Every structure is written in structure tokens, then in C-alpha cells.
């Protein structure tokens, strides 16, 4: 599939969606993102449900109106928070077959996140692409934990499917283009568990399928074997989503496996820390990227742009020397200009991966 039709326009694939976790890509506004060629954004249902609240977002017109963003939005289910806040530290909550329970700080209410609530929140936010709540694990987790994760992920996906279909029918949202629902394949590094999870999810006929679980080993190396194996298990005619994969080299590797949708905080986080990405050459068949560490003293008097291959506002207007100066004095403009550049670099890379003219 080369495009996903959504209520807020077509999402051409392959596509990289920057993380707007709390309803903002830090340092940029919607016009900046459009100028970079960003095709869509990812927001987080768990965090937005906590603040400002799904009801508040809905009262303000939904996530698109809130952000003044008129392209597709994908909502993360909160499944990664189940992993990062509970599986990584059981003192912060518990996971049952019914739901995940997040123990709140003193004076705050305990939060419950069920498959049904996750879908309700995502639809209330106004997301174009929703993701089923899953039980994420680390690839090194014990076999018993992996089996439990797969059992729960399948059961939760069924409940998400039922709630999604019920709410779409109730709200009269079944006509095209309608919101889309993706499921997430878990199983760690166990091929049999991955096969079982993918098979049972495929039988539920979701609009797309994602690779679930931490995609790197303890040395931060991409788990290419299990990523490729899982991609082959997903329905051929449905888009494949590599959740949390974000380095340029990893994007290229996963695109060759068949994945066509990506999200990660890496390019925006790197930008704020002065690590800038750049396409190696102007050749459209060259998918390699280099890095510029703009804080290095070597750039203090450099009059050139970050990259000759880039057409972003930063590269058209400002020198490496100026950006080095902005980081040195810790001016907020440094984060904006660096983030503009990194996201434009990613948009150009994905255009090359898709074999299309840069937008």
C-alpha cells in the first residue's frame, strides 16, 4: 500500500511522523512543520488524557484545531507507557488482563488504562490513525513474560477492535475516509510467539500492523532479524509500522524490509542537543546520512550551511557559525533552527525512499 486515506488527507508512504507527544513538536508550530514537508504527526493518548485531558482537547475542537494542524495525526495508545512506567518499574503500577493501573504521585488520582478507554481517548482526541493498546516487552524479557504479553496483546486487540467498531457506528463515522485502526505484533525475539501474534491479529482484519516491543538490543543495535521476520508475517496488502525506529540508517534498513511508517523522538531530540543530520550527497539514490555536531568549536567561524544538500529555512539563511553561536549562548532560536533542519532532512530522506520528488 502506497497511501493511507484518512479524514485529514492522504498519508503517502513511506512516511516518518515526528513525535508531538503532548500536542506539540518542541520549538516548532504547524507552519514550521508544513514548511519542512512533515506529512503527519504522532500524539500520545496517555499523556494527553492526563493533561490537558481528552475532554479539554475535544472542547477545544480536537487535536487538529488545538494544534492548527490539518494533516493526519496518529495517536499512540499508551502501550509504551505500560512498558516504560510499569514493566520497567513495578512500583509505579500493575498490569492485569483487565487493564493497566498507574500509581499516581501523592495527591493525584490513580490512572487506569484499558483497551476500551484507550480507543475512547484516541477518538475523542480526533486521531486519524488509532493504535490498539498492547503489552510491550523488552526482547530480553523471560519467556513467561513474552507469552503473557502476547496473550494479553491479542485479547486487548480484540477488545480495541470491538470498541472501535462500536464507536464508529455510534458516531456515524463508517463512511470513507474514516479513522484507521492498527494492531501491534508482540513476541519479543521468539519467532513462534511472533508468528502466533501476527496470525491472530491478521484474522481480526486491522487497517495496518506494527512491530511491537523494543527494536534494539542492549548494545543499541537494531534487531534486524526479528524485525524482518515480523514484517514477513504481516498481511502483504496492509501498511507496516516500525514503532520507535528513528535513526536514518534504521529507517533505510526497515524500509527495505517492507516497513513504510515510522515515528521517533530522535531527530527532534538530537536537534535540541546540537546533533544535526544531513544527506551525504544530492544524488537521489544516495540514502546515506552524515552528522554535524554543531557545538564543536570547528564550526565557530564556518560561513557555510549545515548541509549543501538541504533546502530548509536554516540552511538557506543561516551559517554553521551562527547556529554554533546560538547554542553557545543557549538561545531558544537554536532549538527551532536545528529542529527545522533535522525534520526537513528526514522528509527528504523519506521522499528518496519513496522514489518521489521532495515535497
The residues assigned a catalytic role are: 76, 263
**Residues with Cβ < 8 Å from 79, sequence gap 6 or more?**
118, 131, 132, 133, 134, 135, 136, 184, 212
Whether the bond into 321 is cis, omega within 30 of 0 = no
Question: 167 and 181 in contact (C-beta within 8 Å)?
Answer: no
| Contacts within 8 Å (CB) and 24+ apart, 268-272 | 268/18, 268/19, 268/25, 268/26, 268/27, 268/339, 268/342, 268/343, 270/342, 271/27, 271/335, 271/338, 271/339, 271/341, 271/342, 271/343, 272/26, 272/27, 272/335, 272/338, 272/339
Cell 530522506 maps to which residue? 349
Amino acid at each position: 500500500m502506497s497511501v493511507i486515506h484518512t479524514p485529514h488527507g492522504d498519508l503517502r508512504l513511506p512516511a516518518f511522523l515526528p513525535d508531538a507527544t503532548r500536542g506539540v513538536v518542541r520549538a516548532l508550530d504547524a507552519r514550521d512543520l508544513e514548511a519542512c514537508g512533515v506529512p503527519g504527526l504522532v500524539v500520545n493518548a496517555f499523556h494527553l488524557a492526563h493533561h490537558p485531558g481528552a475532554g479539554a482537547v475535544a472542547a477545544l475542537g480536537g487535536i487538529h484545531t488545538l494544534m492548527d494542524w490539518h494533516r493526519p495525526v496518529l495517536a499512540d495508545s499508551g502501550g509504551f507507557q505500560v512498558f516504560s512506567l510499569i514493566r520497567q518499574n513495578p512500583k509505579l503500577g500493575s498490569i492485569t488482563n483487565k487493564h493497566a493501573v498507574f500509581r499516581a504521585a501523592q495527591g493525584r488520582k490513580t490512572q487506569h488504562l484499558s483497551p476500551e478507554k484507550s480507543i475512547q481517548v484516541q477518538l475523542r482526541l480526533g486521531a486519524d490513525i488509532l493504535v490498539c493498546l498492547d503489552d510491550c516487552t523488552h526482547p530480553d524479557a523471560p519467556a513467561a513474560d513474552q507469552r503473557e504479553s502476547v496473550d494479553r496483546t491479542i485479547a486487548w486487540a480484540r477488545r480495541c477492535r470491538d470498541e472501535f467498531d462500536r464507536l464508529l457506528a455510534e458516531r456515524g463515522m463508517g463512511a470513507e475516509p474514516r479513522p484507521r485502526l492498527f494492531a501491534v505484533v508482540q513476541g519479543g525475539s521468539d519467532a513462534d510467539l511472533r508468528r502466533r501474534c501476527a496470525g491472530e491479529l491478521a484474522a481480526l482484519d486491522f487497517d495496518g500492523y506494527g512491530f511491537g516491543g523494543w527494536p534494539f538490543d542492549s548494545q543499541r543495535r537494531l534487531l534486524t532479524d526479528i524485525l524482518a521476520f515480523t514484517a514477513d508475517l504481516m498481511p502483504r496488502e496492509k501498511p507496516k509500522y516500525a514503532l520507535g525506529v528513528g535513526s536514518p540508517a534504521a529507517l533505510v534498513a526497515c524500509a527495505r524490509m517492507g516497513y513504510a511508517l515510522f515515528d521517533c523522538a530522535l531527530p527532534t531530540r538530537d536537534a535540541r542537543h546540537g546533533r544535526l543530520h544531513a544527506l551525504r550527497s544530492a544524488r537521489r539514490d544516495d540514502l546515506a546520512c552524515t552528522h554535524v555536531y554543531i557545538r564543536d568549536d570547528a564550526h565557530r567561524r564556518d560561513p557555510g550551511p549545515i548541509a549543501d544538500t538541504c533546502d530548509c529555512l536554516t540552511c538557506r539563511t543561516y551559517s554553521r557559525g551562527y547556529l554554533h553561536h546560538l547554542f553557545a549562548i543557549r538561545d531558544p532560536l537554536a532549538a527551532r533552527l536545528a529542529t527545522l533542519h533535522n525534520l526537513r532532512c528526514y522528509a527528504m530522506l523519506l521522499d528518496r525512499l519513496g522514489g518521489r520528488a521532495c515535497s
